[in-house]
Amino acid sequence: MNFEELIQNVYHKIKNIDDEGNLASYIPELKNVDSESFGVHISTIDNFNFGVGNCYEKFSIQSIAKVFALSLAYSILGEKLWERVKVEPSGTAFNSLIQLEVENGIPRNPFINAGTHVVSDILLSNLNNPKEDFLNFVKSLSNCSEICYSNRIATSEKNVGYRNVALCNFIKAFGNIKNKPSDVLDFYFNLCSLEMNCEELSKLFLFLANDGFTLEDNKQILSKSQAKRINALMQTCGFYDESGEFAFKVRLPGNSGVGGGIVAVHPKQYTIAVWSPKLNEKGNSYKGMRFLEEFTTKSELSIF
């Protein structure tokens, strides 16, 4: 497969389409970005790397960081994790509160915001220096030493994050948050503020294409079965109330953030990261979705 030629072709085609999306505006700092940015980077498990466009420019990965948080919590707690968060698609927006009331504060899945508050709470209870340890975990997935939280983004979201404050306190009222909600929220806003570029993002996700082992130093992060389960969750829940649409059009496990990043995993083959900041009405990158649909269609590789 000539990924380089295929990515170049699809990139130039999608770059020129009308972008029907809009920048995320509810986190003020996310508006301070060039809305025309567009980058793509692929990393394969046989060590081929290729990127185009703004693929070396850092952006706010937002909810994509939830996959790293889940991976670390899963490696610590094992299957007991699923007593605190379920594995069903929610069919609701990523920041919705409605299911929590009737489902007794047990979030539908780990990728909606409610689920990541519970995962964050688990990490707070199990890490000595939660923010530092989590960042070191992320960096260790691909020897990426240049990755940092953005204080600017975290503070901007903290100042307006009323829905997340409500979600976290609501779950606390059901007893499914053990730590102080203010500490959980502080950790959550920081994890969402992680910044990296498409090259780093695709490389950091390779362990999920490689049966739970990092590619560079063959370190086991998750068991083979756990890695498969995280991919299954990304396939069914990674795009919130657009997860069905993504599976239908792109057919790969993946995850998306309101900074306009999308990462997708083709197990045993490759990971691909796309960044284009304008979002569709479900909060997923408009051009990112269009690029991946075209890329997986033209490559004719499929997990099905």
Position among 257, 260, 277, 288 found at the interface with ligand GLN (CB under 6 A): 257
Q: Which is nearer to ligand GLN, 140 or 169 (CB)?
A: 169
| 3-class state of residue 23 by DSSP | coil
**Where is 209: in which H helix or E strand?**
helix 206-209
Position among 11, 50, 94, 170 found at the interface with ligand GLN (CB under 6 A): 94
Instruction: Assess 261 for contact with ligand GLN (CB under 6 A).
Output: no
Instruction: Tell me how far CA of residue 258 lies from CA of 110, 177, 180, 191, in angstroms.
Output: 17, 25, 26, 13
Instruction: Assess 156 for contact with ligand GLN (CB under 6 A).
Output: no
Quick one: which of 5, 34, 3, 1 has its CA closest to 19?
A: 34
User: Could you say which residues in the range 108-137 bind ligand GLN, by CB under 6 A?
Assistant: 113
Instruction: Assess 280 for contact with ligand GLN (CB under 6 A).
Output: no
User: Could you say which residues in the range 157-176 bind ligand GLN, by CB under 6 A?
Assistant: 157, 164
Position among 238, 254, 283, 288 found at the interface with ligand GLN (CB under 6 A): 283
Instruction: Assess 192 for contact with ligand GLN (CB under 6 A).
Output: yes
Tokens of 234: 């990304």
Instruction: Assess 237 for contact with ligand GLN (CB under 6 A).
Output: no
DSSP letter, residue 49: E
| Residue 281 Cβ vs ligand GLN, minimum distance, rounded to whole Å | 13
Nearest 5°: the CA angle 30, 35, 40 is: 100
Instruction: Assess 276 for contact with ligand GLN (CB under 6 A).
Output: no
Quick one: which of 97, 237, 266, 263 has its CA closest to 165?
A: 97
Position among 250, 258, 265, 274 found at the interface with ligand GLN (CB under 6 A): 258
| Axis crossing angle, helix 181-192 with helix 113-126, rounded to the nearest 10 | 110
211 in the Ramachandran plot: left (φ > 0), alpha (ψ -120 to 50) or beta? left
The mark string for 39-78 relative to ligand GLN (x by CB under 6 A, - otherwise) is -----------------------xx---------------
Residue 257, Cα to own-chain centre: how many angstroms?
A: 6
Residue numbers at the binding site for ligand GLN (CB under 6 A): 62-63, 94-95, 113, 157, 164, 192, 257-258, 283
